[in-house]
Structure 1
Amino acid sequence: MKPISRHETEIFRLVTLRGSCSIAELAEQLGVSDETVRRHVRPLVDRGQVEKVHGGIVMPDRLREAPMERRMGENRAAKQAIAAAVAERVDDGDTMMLDTGSTTAYVAVALSRKSSLQVVTNSTEIGRILARQRSNKVYLVGGEVGSDQLATFGPQAIDFVRRFNVRHAILSIGGINTDSELMNFGLDEAEFSRAVIRQAASVTVVADHTKFSRRALVKVCDVADIDTFVTDSRPPEAFCRLLARNDASLMIAGPQDSAQ
């Protein structure tokens, strides 16, 4: 199999961030000709990672994450239950990082009852929610803003995160694959989450039950990299066993709250 080129990686990064790109935009970003872009797009199309449209490329529907506004309305009760369970584990004055996601946005709402939090986030929505509490300190990560996520990504965002060490990392994911790897939809999202994991003493992943049947493209981490997994219904038994083997806690939010 032919190795993936640097241009292919950058083209894929840009289209996952923006949802679509024209050939002319990509040529300008990469500093190459339109023909060079087309040559590097071809393998991405052949592998099903992007789709060609007139004058450009788009992410395939099956790999594209829904806009943030729509995801906030999906499985709302489950996400609120997960958020409430996570907030109970956070103390006033805690330090934390939250990545962008609809479930982490609900966590931010639940955390609004806390005080004196120090929060690092790449989500403009989470930053807005938590900055309303005057005793909090909120550090909004800089970088390129994705229109669907309303969040910042890229090298600048990762460099900024490396300046901090926090007690909690609270992360959302896009899906869980058949090998029980935690996945997300874009390279930038996954890279940002991995950077956050490295800066935290404790890593909590939040995911409602639909994530166990959803495909996502890019690996974020293994179960061995997390400390707590919070969901709204019991995961498949194979996943529960994997959590136990890696000494990771399972929290099931809702009326039947339990821990493993």
Structure 2
Amino acid sequence: MIEFETMAQRHNYILDQLEKNEVVKISDLAKKLDVSIVTIRKDIKTLENMDLIYKAHGLIYKNNPYTQDINVNEKSLLNVEQKRDIAKFAASLIEPNDAILIASGTTVLQFAQAINVTNGKLTVVTSAMNVALALSGKANIEVIQLGGVVRPNSTSVVGPYAEDTLKKLSFSKLFLGIDGIDTDYGLTTSNLLEANLNHLMIKASQKTIVLTDYSKFGKKGFGKICNLNEIDHIITDSRITEKAKEDIDNLGVKLTIV
């Protein structure tokens, strides 16, 4: 229990907790500060009116947790160094004669660009047209592009054609990009059809490896892909919060920070 004499001190404590954790329960704050729910709600309302926090369903966030469908060209300009480091490590996980599946997203595009096969052969199936193009000229790589309806914002395909093809294939690894990862709710993307395709990709793969920079943690997209405990490995960067690290570890999911 922490006692503060002024409202300003409580506000600073709340903001400090959000810097350390991507999401905080309002009821937990009331207990820690030893104040009533009414008092803490007034504090939250004040901070919300100042655009310093975002409140939803008994939780507070530093920023709006709900993602939107942003064009891939805009996404490619965000957190470029982090995505590049994540991609390089992910590329090191490919083994000789692997058959892998690559979903869509700017981080997995960086991953595709980082792949260099010098031993054996690599078979790649992908829903992303830009990933297929990035790999098409590389030695020892066979690329299979899934068919379907092309989403302009992601230059990837969705729909029954891609889904039917996946049901007939099996992969050693899936490299998955996401729009949001919430340790309670799970993995999400901003498009429902893409979320459904990603779910089928997980079912078709022996191991699912998620490539995501720190900014996707605590976020939620429109379409849910799966629960967090349904994946095997997350590769992210050093700006991930301690709370997210702890939650991932508790679920038994492997975490690599680059």
TM-score (norm 1): 0.69
2:101 is matched with 97
CA–CA distance in structure 2, aligned partners of residues 248 and 156 of structure 1: 31
Deviation at 1:113, TM superposition (A): 4.8
Q: CA deviation at 1:247?
A: 2.3
Q: What residue number does 1:220 align with?
A: 225
Q: Could you tell which deviates more after superposition, 117-126 or 209-218?
A: 209-218
Determine if the alignment matches structure 1 residue 79 to structure 2 residue 83. yes
In structure 1, the gaps of 5 or more residues are: 1-61, 254-260
- For 1:91, the aligned partner's letter is E
The corresponding residue for 2:113 is: 109
Q: Does 1:129 align with 2:137?
A: no
The partner residue of 2:186 within 178, 181, 185 is 181
Deviations 1:132-188 (A, max 9, x none): 114211110000011111111011111111121111101011012362511110101
Cα distance in 2, alignment partners of residues 223 and 69 from structure 1: 28
Alpha carbons of 1:104 and 1:241: their partners in 2 closer, same or farther (altered >3 Å)?
same
Report if the CA contact (8 A) 1:112-1:130 is conserved.
no
Q: Which residue number in structure 2 is paired with residue 69 of structure 1? A: 73
- 1:79 Cα deviation (Å)? 0.2
Note if 1:144 corresponds to 2:149: yes
* Correspondence 1:119 to 2:124: yes
Report what 2:20 is aligned to: none
2:246 to 241, 244, 249: 241
1:166 alignment partner in structure 2? 171
Q: Quote the Cα distance in structure 2 between the aligned partners of 1:114 and 1:171.
A: 23
* 1:66 partner SS: coil
Q: Structure 1 CA distance, aligned partners of 2:225 and 2:105?
A: 14
Structure 1 counterpart of 2:235: 230
The whole-number CA distance in structure 2 between the counterparts of 1:165 and 1:125 is: 22
- The structure with more radius of gyration: 2
Indicate conservation of the 8 Å contact 1:190/1:218, yes or no: yes
Q: Secondary structure at the match of 1:160?
A: helix
Distance 1:99 1:106, change over 3 A: same
Offset at residue 234 of structure 1 (A): 5.1
Letter in 1 for 2:199: R
Counterpart amino acid of residue 95 in structure 2: D
**Aligned mates of 1:114, 1:121 — CA distance in 2:** 21
The Cα of 1:63 is off from its aligned counterpart by 4.7
Q: CA deviation at 1:224?
A: 1.0
Q: Name the CA distance, whole Å, in 2 between partners of 1:162 and 1:238.
A: 36
Q: Which residue of structure 2 lines up, in the alignment, with residue 21 of structure 1?
A: none
> Residues 158 and 244 of structure 1: is their aligned pair in 2 closer, same or farther, counting only changes over 3 Å?
same
- Following the alignment from structure 2 to structure 1, what is the Cα–Cα distance between the partners of residues 144 and 194? 18
Q: Name the CA shift for 1:185/1:108 in 2 (closer, same or farther; >3 Å).
A: same
- For 2:161, give the aligned amino acid: Q
Q: Does 1:204 align with 2:209?
A: yes
Q: Per-residue CA shift, 1:218-238, capped at 9, x if unaligned? A: 211111111100101253334
Provide the aligned length of Structure 1 versus Structure 2.
192
Aligned-residue CA RMSD in angstroms? 1.7
Q: What do the CA deviations read for 1:198-223 (whole angstroms, capped 9, x no partner)?
A: 01111101110110243422211111
